[in-house]
Amino acid sequence: MCLILDIETIGIDFDSLDKTTQKSLSYWIEREAKSETEYQELLENLKQRLGFSPLTGEIVALGVLDYYKNKGIVYFQTSGEKIGEFSKDNFTFKPATEPEMLQRFWEGAKKYNLFVTFNGRSFDIPFIMIRSAKYKIKPTKDLLSNRYLSNQKSDSKHIDLLDQLSFYGVLKKRGNLHMWCKLFGIKSPKAEGITGEDISLMFKNGQYKKIAEYNSWDLIATKELYTCWKNYLSFEWKSYASPGGIEPPSRA
């Protein structure tokens, strides 16, 4: 059972943070900025990037896609706005608070033994785990047990495609999801002109459904990229096979 997963995040309003936290985040700007203009530019950049840390950000969309069934669910925040559940293509989109989406993710994760992300080891999974701990939600799978696939637990394999495609960093220019999609002829989720850095502004503007749909595009692209990797670059599949476990890939 294989599950593709991805999250979208936003940052906390910098001005709402206590003075000590603001100072901890911005002290280096005062040291490095050579002018007031540069200081303001660096500070604004910092504010825009608060969503990339679970200490200063939160999850506003969490999506999963069953690899073999090609069916997915995206949970998304609506900031209190009444938006009903809806379906599009092979996805069901369900409004949820951050703790609700985390609780549902870990409950659903129990059914899977293989998880696929793009840069999930450095971003998605640590973010999910820290935010889960904030709400006293216990993970049901250890998705950070070991970086190397051959040493991971058989019931919770985590394939980070960025690790695999760069051969654990041997390829120095690792690239992003958009570049890997372009290489393999996969439609990039960035093709509509949206990137992860746009999510905060979209959320502020009430584009909740658009954020959820963007998350589904990330999932589709990651799924197709995973197919390319397992068919043409992976030598690990035999070691994954177990009774009732992961099916070997088709190489047709």
* Residue 68 C-alpha from the chain's centroid: 20
Q: What is the largest CA-CA distance in the chain?
A: 64
At 192-209, the pLDDT tens digits run: 778 878 899 999 999 999
Question: What stretches of 35-143 adopt beta strand conformation (E)?
Answer: 57-66, 71-76, 86-88, 91-95, 114-117
Is residue 35 within 8 A of residue 189, CB to CB? The reply is: no
Question: Band of the pLDDT at 77, cuts 50, 70, 90?
Answer: very high
Residue 46, Cα to own-chain centre: how many angstroms?
Answer: 20
Is pLDDT above 50 for 248? no
- Please tell me whether residue 195 adopts helix, strand or coil conformation: coil
Please give the model's pTM, rounded to 2 decimal places: 0.89
Residue-range domains of the chain with CATH: 2-11+57-240 (3.30.420.10)
Question: Cβ distance 129 to 111 under 8 Å?
Answer: no
Cα separation, 112 vs 3, in Å, equals 7
Among 192, 196, 193, smallest CA distance to 176 is for 196
Write the CA distances from 113 to 2, 108, 141, 241, integer angstroms: 7, 11, 9, 11
Kind of pairing, strands 57-66 and 2-11?
A: antiparallel
> Tell me: the pLDDT tens digits for 79-136?
989 999 999 999 999 999 999 999 999 999 999 999 999 999 999 999 999 999 999 9
Residue matched to tokens 């960025």 = 162
